């Protein structure tokens, strides 16, 4: 009987290791005022350097999330939408929508290294580690431009089915992108530079944010009709459509907790989506954030979520589509599990 002890202990350790993490409770734990000028679009997290890259219209602010201090600014990025972090190359890349370019910068010093011309009106941008290429997704030319991170030259272009929104790479040579005006997803072979699959996101409409569970091959598309379209990336079909908040624009996924997130700027919430024991997906929590907090970035190191927002002036004109921001009130909200 004594000889069975190590076997029992080993079995117990395996059971503990394979047991799912308990779903944490999320809340805003900190607000970091950053001020500055310009609106914003995507946030990008460089977990290794603890830096958050914040697009501000014509420049990119860089925040150290530990100290809460702005540690740099990348200028002359007209119409900047986002940044891609190519850690292996030691470089970052911004998508500049107003002059059809990418700005290449050194990740450590933040010094600008080069400007690369890409397609028309580049919006979202993504690094693919399998091909070591950065891809811009160009709303004007409705295509994707691949930039080689070795020489920072254009490696080719992929024609898409419509207007692209946010992409995600699976690390195995596949890249997925939401096609907003067609309400679909397209799959790209990042080495061959060709589309290999397309599928509809119904009942989701006008997808924007996209997150990926690379282990289980699941995609999460935030859609304008308050649905997160959950897709099986291998089968190429939608498998669930849980409800999310109003005005979503970004998505995130934390593999440690098997949770997806939607940042909803219109009603100022963060929807937390979990996988239920039945295998489907549904909202498990709604976190109050702040109206205008529509984009986000997740740090897998700390499991914290960063959202950008501002104080809004009272709406005096009912026909006004968006309320004006109070000058100098831009802030980063830090949402954390406990």
Q: What is the mean pLDDT of residues 126-149?
A: 98
Q: Predicted confidence band at 21 (pLDDT cuts at 50, 70, 90)?
A: low
pLDDT at residue 13 is higher than 50: no
Q: Which residue bears the tokens 């986000």?
A: 296
Residues above pLDDT 70, as percent of the chain:
93
Q: Predicted confidence band at 11 (pLDDT cuts at 50, 70, 90)?
A: very low
Distance CA 120, CA 231 (A): 29
Q: What is the mean pLDDT of residues 262-286?
A: 96
Which pLDDT score is estimated for 12? 37
Which pLDDT score is estimated for 2? 40
pLDDT at residue 129 is higher than 50: yes
- List pLDDT tens digits, range 146-197: 999 999 999 999 999 999 999 999 999 999 999 999 999 999 999 999 999 9
**Model confidence, pTM:** 0.91
Q: Which residues lie closer than 8 Å to 275 by C-beta, 6 or more apart?
A: 258, 281
CATH number of 40-337: 2.130.10.10
Q: Predicted confidence band at 321 (pLDDT cuts at 50, 70, 90)?
A: low
Residues above pLDDT 90, as percent of the chain:
86
Q: What is the mean pLDDT of residues 91-110?
A: 97
Q: Predicted confidence band at 325 (pLDDT cuts at 50, 70, 90)?
A: confident
Which pLDDT score is estimated for 9? 38
pLDDT at residue 242 is higher than 50: yes
* Spans of all domains in the chain: 40-337
Q: Predicted confidence band at 322 (pLDDT cuts at 50, 70, 90)?
A: confident
Q: Predicted confidence band at 315 (pLDDT cuts at 50, 70, 90)?
A: confident
- List pLDDT tens digits, range 41-50: 999 999 999 9
pLDDT at residue 118 is higher than 60: yes
Cβ(16)–Cβ(8) below 8 Å: no
Cβ(130)–Cβ(122) below 8 Å: no
- List pLDDT tens digits, range 255-267: 999 999 999 999 9
Distance CA 121, CA 181 (A): 16
Distance CA 259, CA 256 (A): 8
Count of CB atoms situated within 10 Å of the CB of 332: 22
Cβ(93)–Cβ(109) below 8 Å: no
Question: Order of strands across the sheet with 281-288?
Answer: 248-254, 259-264, 269-275, 281-288
Which pLDDT score is estimated for 160? 98
Chain centre to alpha carbon of residue 218: 15
Kindly tell me the sign of the dihedral angle through the C-alpha atoms of 92, 95, 96, 99.
positive
Joined together, the tokens standing for residue 173 give: 């040579």
pLDDT at residue 324 is higher than 90: no
């Amino acid at each position: 009987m004594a000889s069975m002890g190590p076997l029992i202990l080993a079995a117990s350790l395996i059971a503990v290791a394979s047991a799912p993490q308990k779903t944490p409770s999320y809340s805003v734990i900190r607000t970091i005022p950053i001020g500055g000028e310009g609106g914003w679009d995507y946030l990008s997290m460089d977990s290794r350097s603890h830096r958050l890259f914040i697009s501000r219209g014509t420049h990119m602010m860089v925040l150290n999330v530990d100290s809460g201090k702005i540690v740099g600014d990348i200028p002359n990025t007209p119409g900047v939408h986002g940044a891609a972090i190519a850690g292996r190359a030691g470089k970052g890349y911004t998508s500049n929508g107003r002059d059809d370019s990418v700005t290449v910068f050194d990740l450590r010093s933040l010094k600008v290294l080069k400007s690369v011309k890409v397609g028309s009106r580049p919006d979202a941008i993504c690094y693919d580690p399998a091909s070591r290429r950065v891809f811009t997704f160009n709303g004007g030319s409705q295509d994707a431009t691949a930039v080689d991170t070795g020489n920072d030259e254009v490696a080719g272009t992929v024609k898409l089915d419509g207007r692209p929104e946010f992409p995600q790479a699976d690390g195995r040579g596949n890249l997925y992108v939401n096609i907003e005006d067609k309400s679909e997803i397209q799959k790209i072979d990042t080495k061959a530079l060709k589309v290999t699959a397309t599928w509809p996101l119904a009942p989701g409409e006008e997808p924007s944010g996209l997150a990926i569970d690379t282990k289980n091959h699941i995609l999460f598309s935030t859609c304008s009709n308050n649905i997160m379209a959950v897709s099986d990336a291998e089968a190429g079909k939608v498998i669930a459509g849980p409800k999310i908040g109003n005005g979503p624009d970004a998505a995130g996924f934390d593999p440690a907790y098997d949770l997806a997130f939607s940042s909803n700027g219109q009603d100022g919430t963060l929807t937390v989506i979990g996988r239920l024991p039945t295998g489907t997906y549904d909202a498990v929590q709604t976190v109050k954030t702040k109206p205008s907090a529509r984009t986000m970035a997740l740090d897998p190191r700390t499991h914290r979520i960063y959202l950008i927002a501002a104080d809004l002036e009272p709406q005096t004109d009912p026909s006004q589509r968006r309320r004006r921001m109070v000058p100098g009130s831009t802030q980063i909200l830090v949402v954390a599990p406990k």
